[in-house]
Every structure is written in structure tokens, then in C-alpha cells.
Amino acid sequence: MLIHTFHGRTAAEALSRARDRLGEDACVLETRRTTTGIEVLVAAERPSPPGAEPPRVEDPVHALWAALHERLRAEGFADALASRIAAAAAARVADGRAEAAVALRDALAVWLRVETADPGPGALVLVGAPGVGKTTTIAKIAAREAARRGAGVVLASMDDQRLGGLEQLEATARVLGVPFFPLRDERDLAAARRRAGRRGLLLVDTPGVSRGCSAVLDRIDALTRGVERREVELLLAADADRHAITESVRRFARLAPRCAGLTRLDEAPRGGGLLSVLVRTGLAVRHVSTGPLIPDDLARATARGLAAWAIPHAPLPSRPATAHDVATKEPR
């Protein structure tokens, strides 16, 4: 892949030059304002053959839309969303009001929903596919909520199927100095809820629900449905593919998740697939996890932070996300 730079008074003019020279394969990486106009950084798979007829550019804004659309597709965005975002961004980029990545992020952020309310008081139940990061994330949330609230945080786990499932969280609870309850039946749940108190927060870890394993889902639903002020947060792993994420949203829909938590942002090579599913399903995001460390790698989601994570300034090499990139600070 070769990188070229083109100048113009406007981005449309610079891009038109790029298209004349490199043809439709050219992909805009960046637009920058300079003292004399706009500079466009363009990647092309191969140089145009010497003497080749330059391709005609009929509409520079359309050409810009096509380049932005292509770039979003390369970041994993679904076609329909990529079209809309590129359309919203193209006009701003074409007349020099914003550079490409900023215009795309702004256009994407409008479509993303975030849950700004803190969890609780009540019970927060974390659910998700096996290995998505439920136990790690609930431990991070417990550490943060214990620091924020001071008291009234209780950890509980329904994960008695996996060897060591309960012990893992019990050990975390000991370190954090919060009570822990294994949940086998309604009586355990009622006791844990009482311990948290009316204004407290009960955090419930659940076993992973595999595809087609509705018995585990039934058990989670049956046990937690009656608990006062239940909130379900569905964890989605950012490094899973778009179809697996869509299937996971469908699988857990019957628990009526209030919001999603996103894990493994640090491991995902591209973010477009995940965000496309979120936009299509209208799920709001509350927590984002950017690494395995407890309690460090957890933050509250912001639409702009998520957009910046999914549309990096330079698509190659990919840049690992940090909690700082994708989040705001927890409210004190």
C-alpha cells in the first residue's frame, strides 16, 4: 500500500486530485488543514500505470462519501450505518469544516446511546456468553461502587456450575471487604438483598449462557426476576464478530437488559461491527472494560469515546484502547 499527499483549497478539490491520480481505489486516511488549504493523506493499493487515462470524478462530494464509506467498512461497520455516517460527514469534510476522522466520529456519536445513570439502588445482574468477562467486570464494579458508596455493596454469585466459579468471586469480596453470598435459591437471594439494605447495591454474577443452552437462561431469569429493582446489564465482548454479538443480543433479549457493558476493547482489532449492532438494536452502553486488571480497566462509556475508539485517526497500525480513551471519569 502506498501513501500519497494531495493539496487543494478545499478537501473536495484535494480529493478530486487524488482520484484523478490514483483512481477509485484510493482511500482517505486523514484530512488536515494547512495554511494554504487542505491536505489529504490517501492510501492506494497500487500506483496508476504510466499514461493511463485518469478516471473521471463526477461529483467530489460523492467521491468523498465513497472514500469515507470505504474507510468505515474497513473498520467493520455495517453497510447501512457506514452509508449514513459517511453521508453526514462528507459535506463537512468537503467544505473544510472538519477533518475526516473528526467528522466521522461526530456523525457516529449521534447514533450511539449511553446509560448515564449509576447502577442501583437495587440489584445489578451481569449476564453474557461464557468467558465474556462477567466475573472480572462485576469485581471491578464492586470495587468502584464500594469506594463510591462506602457501604451497602454486596457481591453474590449464581455460578455454582463451574469448578471454582464461586470461590473466585468470594476471594475478591474478601479483598474488597464486602459481603459475599452464593445464590442457590430464592432464600439466598432474599438474604443477600436484605444485607445490601434499601439503598444498597446487590451485584449478581451469573454463569455463562452458551448458545442454545436455554436452561441456564431460564434459571437466571427465574431466580432474579422477583428481586426488587432488578437491572440486567448484558456484557458483549468487543473482539467477537458481528454475527456472534448479534446472536448474543438476541439470546439475552428475554431478560430485558437495561443496558450493555462492553469488554475486551483492548483486544478488538476493529470496533465497527460491535457499534453497528448497538446502533441497530438501540442498546445503551454503561460500562467499558479495556483490560483484565481489577479495578483499573473499567470506565463509564461516552458516545464520543466509543466513536473515537472505533474510528482511530490512523487505521494502521491499530492502537490499543485505554480506559482514558473511551470513557469519562466515574462521578464522585
Ligand X SMILES: Nc1nc2c(ncn2[C@@H]2O[C@H](COP(=O)(O)OP(=O)(O)OP(=O)(O)O)[C@@H](O)[C@H]2O)c(=O)[nH]1
User: Which chain residues interact with Mg ion by CB under 5 A?
Assistant: 134-135
Residues 152-171 that bind ligand X (CB under 6 A): 159, 162
Report the alpha-carbon distance of residue 290 to residue 267 in Å, rounded.
8
* 162/198 with CB nearer ligand X: 162
Residues 224-263 that bind ligand X (CB under 6 A): 263
Which three three-digit cell numbers place residue 178? 464486602
Which three three-digit cell numbers place residue 206? 451469573
* 134/286 with CB nearer ligand X: 134
Task: State which H helix or E strand residue 321 sits in.
Answer: none
Partner that binds at residue 263, options Mg ion, ligand X, none, CB closer than 5 to 8 Å by kind: ligand X
What is the nearest approach in angstroms of ligand X to the Cβ of residue 132?
4
- Rule CB under 6 A: choose which of 48, 267, 281, 328 binds ligand X: 267
Residue nearest to Mg ion (CB): 135
- Rule CB under 6 A: choose which of 16, 31, 135, 276 binds ligand X: 135
Binding-site size, ligand X (CB under 6 A): 20
Partner that binds at residue 96, options Mg ion, ligand X, none, CB closer than 5 to 8 Å by kind: none
Per 3-state DSSP, the chain is made up of helix, strand and coil in percentages (nearest 5) of 40, 20, 35
Q: Angle CA(9)–CA(13)–CA(18) in degrees, nearest 5?
A: 125
**DSSP class per residue in 168-230:** HHHHHHHHHT--EEE-SSHHHHHHHHHHH-TT-EEEEE-----TT-HHHHHHHHHHHTTSTTE
Partner that binds at residue 224, options Mg ion, ligand X, none, CB closer than 5 to 8 Å by kind: none
Query: What's the DSSP call for residue 165?
Result: H
What is the nearest approach in angstroms of ligand X to the Cβ of residue 309?
13
Q: Does 131 bind ligand X (CB under 6 A)?
A: yes
What is the nearest approach in angstroms of ligand X to the Cβ of residue 12?
41
Residue nearest to ligand X (CB): 208
- Rule CB under 6 A: choose which of 120, 200, 271, 291 binds ligand X: 291
Residues 292-321 that bind ligand X (CB under 6 A): 292, 297
* 137/276 with CB nearer Mg ion: 137
Partner that binds at residue 136, options ligand X, Mg ion, none, CB closer than 5 to 8 Å by kind: ligand X
Residues 88-117 that bind ligand X (CB under 6 A): none
Partner that binds at residue 264, options ligand X, Mg ion, none, CB closer than 5 to 8 Å by kind: ligand X
**321 touches 290 (CB < 8 A):** yes
What is the nearest approach in angstroms of ligand X to the Cβ of residue 73?
26
Q: Does 136 bind ligand X (CB under 6 A)?
A: yes
User: Which residues lie closer than 8 Å to 175 by C-beta, 6 or more apart?
Assistant: none
> Environment class of residue 73 by beta-carbon count within 10 Å: exposed (0-12), middle (13-18) or buried (19+)?
middle
Report the alpha-carbon distance of residue 139 to residue 295 in Å, rounded.
7
E-only strand ranges, the chain: 2-8, 27-34, 37-44, 122-128, 153-157, 180-182, 201-205, 230-237, 259-263, 285-289, 298-301, 327-328
User: Which residues lie closer than 8 Å to 56 by C-beta, 6 or more apart?
Assistant: none
What is the nearest approach in angstroms of ligand X to the Cβ of residue 211?
13
Secondary structure of residue 95 in the 3-state scheme: coil
- Rule CB under 6 A: choose which of 130, 164, 197, 320 binds ligand X: 130
Site for ligand X, rule CB under 6 A: 128, 130-136, 159, 162, 208, 263-264, 266-267, 289-292, 297
